Amino acid sequence: MEHHNPIYIVRYEDMVKDSVGPTTGILQYLLEMEDISGTNAERRVMHFAELKKQNPNIDRAYVTKATTGVANANLDKYTPELLAYIKQELAHFLHFFGYVNNPNPDGEPNENAYLTYEEPHPEESQYYYKFQEANQRAMRRVAGTDGKEKRVYEYKVNNPDYCFELVNPELNKNM
């Protein structure tokens, strides 16, 4: 998809840990600006971060379960066979998003290593934690700083020639 339309990836774990960086990245991407310093968008992100420091539950619309925010809280729900299948079939994604036992790029232990490979996975290890690089490429592309002509992206919805119907008139009539 990266070659057709740029995408920006945010991991849930990163938003929970500290939402300022991911939220800033999302806004930069949506506003097509590599830097939102000094903008109202940055001011709003920082204002919310300050409110969250004062009241950590400010963004909670409901009482969370005891397992919410706990890494691998539901790992015991998967059979060993299913975990082996996931590790085999989704190895690329697990490495790309940093969900395996490789070291972080900064050398720190990986707190998001949800699955462990007993043997190194050389084909996929080269893609470890590369979603951040993909985000940087997407950001340069939408901001027009990638050396190519800036392109206006027209996202098509509700057109069966390009994608699924977002709004189905027949379905809506029955709702």
Strand, coil or helix: what is 84? helix
* The pLDDT of residue 11: 92
pLDDT digits (tens, 9 = 90+) for 93-143: 999 999 998 766 666 778 888 888 888 777 888 888 899 999 999 999 989
* The pLDDT of residue 174: 54
Domain boundaries, the chain: 12-174
pLDDT digits (tens, 9 = 90+) for 47-65: 999 998 998 877 766 666 6
Pair 87, 115: CB distance under 8 Å: yes
Residues in contact with 111: Cβ distance below 8 Å, sequence separation at least 6, in sequence order: 71
* The pLDDT of residue 73: 79
